[in-house]
Amino acid sequence: MVIEIHGRATALLMSDHAGMTPLEEAARLAELVAELDQFLTAALAHDDPEQMRDPFLSAAGTVTEYVDVGAAGGLYRVWMNIDDIFDAWPVDYGDETDAIAMREVRLAVEEWLATPKTEAGISAYVDRWEARQAPDDWPDPGGVWIAGGWGGGPRGDRPAR
């Protein structure tokens, strides 16, 4: 299956896990969580933007191998929105770009590690991050993030959070 996220075509592997038993679903979720925890913990170990970004992207890529796990697609969307900051898309924050991106990675990873690793816990995590990313001034400070569209320009006189 191919989906489009922020104008990027992204291939997702089709699952051959249809019709899993609840025990098999729980095992599949446990596999995903173990892989994500390993990558995301590694991301926190770095203060260099590229060294932090590599395991963070590996975690997002791993999610595409688990499309049969209910919340996996939401994790991918949230984490790729954060990764877009490194690419100055859709807003270039200039000299602050890496610092802002690294701040958001740290927040996302720290919250992930504290999240109950159940379908409900992961879904709540995704919901919180989608709500965080929805305002048109995320991430603050600097330019304007227009979720799902093109951004840019000054913040104007909107209050900072």
Query: What 3-state DSSP class applies to 69?
Result: coil
DSSP 8-state assignment for residue 140: P
Q: Say if residue 12's pLDDT is above 70.
A: no
- When pLDDT is cut at 50, 70 and 90, the band that residue 140 belongs to is low
Q: What is the mean pLDDT of the chain?
A: 80
Q: Say if residue 55's pLDDT is above 80.
A: yes
Q: What is the pLDDT of residues 79-129, one digit of tens each?
A: 999 999 999 887 888 899 999 999 999 999 999 999 999 989 999 999 999
Between 49 and 154, whose confidence is greater?
Answer: 49
Per-residue burial over 86-99, b = 16 or more CB atoms within 10 Å of its CB, e = otherwise: beebbbebeeebbe
Taking residues 150-157, what's their average pLDDT? 36
Q: Say if residue 25's pLDDT is above 50.
A: yes
Report the candidate in 61, 21, 24, 25 with the shortest Cα–Cα distance to residue 40.
Answer: 61
β-pairing, 8-11 vs 2-5, is antiparallel
pLDDT of residue 9: 47
